[in-house]
Amino acid sequence: MAADRAVTGWDDGWVEGTAGNDLINSTYVEPIANGTDKIDGGDGISSAGTAWQDDRVRAGAGNDTVLSGLGNDYVDGGSGADSIDGGSGNDSLFGGTGTFNDTILGGIGNDTIDGGDGIDSLLGGDGTDSILGGLGADYVDGGTEADYIDGGDGNDSLFGGSGTFNDTILGGLGADTIDGGDGDDSLLGGDGADSILGGAGNDTILFGAGDDTVLGGAGNDDIDDVANTGLVGNNLLDGGDGNDRIWAGLGTDTLIGGTGNDQLYGEEGNDTLNGGAGADTLIGGDGSDVFTGLTAGDVVIGSEDASGTDQDVLDLFGSGWSFATTNIIYSTPDKENGTVEFLDANGAVIGTMSFSNVESIIACFTPGTLIDTDKGPVLIERLAVGDRIRTRDHGYQTLRWIGRRDLSPSDLAAEPRLRPILIRAGAFGPAMPVRDMRLSPQHRLLLSGARAELYSGETEVLAPAQHFLGMAGVVQDAAMAGTSYIHLLFDRHEIVRSDGIWSESFQPAAALLSGLDRAQRDEVMALFPELFADLSPANDRHYPAARSTVKRHEARLILAS
């Protein structure tokens, strides 16, 4: 803001506040020591016939209120919690020094606003504004037209404002909330766990380090990490409506294409890619990825890790399909490439999708069991050797080995005894399990309490899942779709928490003990024959059972109401 020169004879051209709480407006008169400058009363004509011009204000210390009126004004609030209204004109407004909480309104015009330190509330108003929040958890609203907003450090709330204008918003350091509003916005989250909403328009959204949530909204959005740096973070990236492109970076990310023909790139990490409606391209990248939200026209590329140990999963069940509404045609002997035909109720093909480098297809099997870990519940197919798993007896234990066996419909037709046991949510009591779960028939569950001691002589015992067949909510899954069995191996036999109930980890040496029945030995050897090549009876002592196993009638009595 230039000096007020409408009245001649004024001193230094700066309106100076005091060290107190000043109200500086058109009626404010400076102390004599500071001169006799004043803020213009408006944009009219002075008594000398000169047009009112621009103001320069230094409010000084104290909690000041400055109303600079019309013109291109310059206001420095100084120290204190100040309230500044620039009025009309292209103003430069500064909150001043100190960690005070300022409120600044730019008003009409292309304003430059700097809140400085403190928790500031900055409103750009009409015009193309440039707003810097500075340190502190600031609230910034750009108002109308295309604004530039930089939240600076702190957990800021940044809004592009109203209208279909193209805003640029930088979150900076901290856990920021950013809303671009309508328009083709450029939004940069910066470091911290940010929440970013693009709104309507074709937005470009870059997320930084931290666990970010990004919602692109309507429009053809590009969502990526900063400068393609592959930053670490477990992010939720949702493109919304439109033909979106999403790159996830490092970490365990969830990508959702939404409506439209989207392109999803999981890049590194164990990601979940959900295409949604439209003909989407889903590329998993490194890691064991899950592909869901699948429809006709989709192309899925699982990719191969350098180690060749990745396990990508095509989740047709989670996409709303079943074995009855799909037909899988493999194009290579390893069954990692092929085509999925989608069928109507009469078996007619209504669309297709293609897949490549996908190790497992789940058509009628709940994809994964939630295992309690030191990071919370994690899908069993997302676990990796070295993860820390919650156990009942020994706290968090390191996972030493993961075994997996995928069974096709023809495999289950030939060996119906291997069909999974389906336990409905709440079958054993409230939230036991918390959701439908499927286990191999010989997988043992923990039973505990007074009834366990009454019928077995022990307060806690194990019982194979198949012992509960015939009870309400427990059936053998008769669907002829393929399934996958995953077992977890620790230094000792453990009891782990899965889907809200306690069940056993894998116990390889137990298969060699005479105390186990033939059915259990046969099942374990059929599923994981490679383990037995390295085991001998001399090693049995390293894998004693964590609990005794009860017979079928004992298990039924223990659970009887």
pLDDT at 52: 45
One domain for residues 422 and 304: no
Q: Which residues contact 338 (CB under 8 A, 6 or more apart)?
A: 328, 329, 330, 331, 332, 354, 355
Q: Are residues 378 and 341 in the same domain?
A: no
In a domain, 538, yes or no: yes
Q: Domain end: 315, 332, 363, which one?
A: 363
Is 533 a domain residue? yes
Cβ-Cβ contacts under 8 Å for 114 (sequence gap 6 or more): 93, 94, 95, 131, 132, 134
Got the DSSP string for 191-232? SSS-EEE--SS--EEEE-SS--EEE--SS--EEEEGGG----
Q: 340 to each of 157, 343, 362, 491, how far by Cα in Å?
A: 45, 10, 12, 41
Predicted confidence band at 120 (pLDDT cuts at 50, 70, 90)? very high
336 and 417 part of one domain: no
Report the range out of 99-113, 348-362, 429-443 with the highest average pLDDT: 99-113
Distance CA 478, CA 469 (A): 13
Q: Do 421 and 529 belong to one domain?
A: yes
Domain encompassing residue 310: 284-363
Phi-psi region of 558 (alpha: psi -120 to 50; beta: other; left: phi over 0): alpha
Residue 13 falls inside a structural domain: no
Whole-number pLDDT of residue 440 = 84
User: Residue 468: helix, strand or coil by DSSP?
Assistant: helix
Are residues 351 and 382 both part of a single domain? Answer: no
The per-residue pLDDT for range 230-259, each reduced to its tens digit, is 567 889 999 999 999 999 988 889 999 999
- For residue 237, the cross-strand partners are 214, 255
- Contact, 315 vs 291, CB < 8 A? yes
Last residue in a domain, options 337, 363, 389: 363
The mean-pLDDT minimum among 148-152, 367-371, 538-542 falls in: 538-542
Does 334 reside within a domain?
yes
Q: Are both 381 and 482 inside the same structural domain?
A: yes
Q: Evaluate if residue 355 carries a pLDDT over 70.
A: yes
Q: In the listed set 321, 339, 363, which residue is the last one of a domain according to the structure?
A: 363
Predicted pLDDT at 308: 66
Dist. CA 481–CA 493, nearest whole Å: 31
Q: Are residues 359 and 494 in the same domain?
A: no
Please indicate, yes or no, if residue 523 is contained in any of the structural domains: yes
User: Does some domain include residue 310?
Assistant: yes
Number of domains comprising the chain: 2
For residues 221-235, average pLDDT: 78
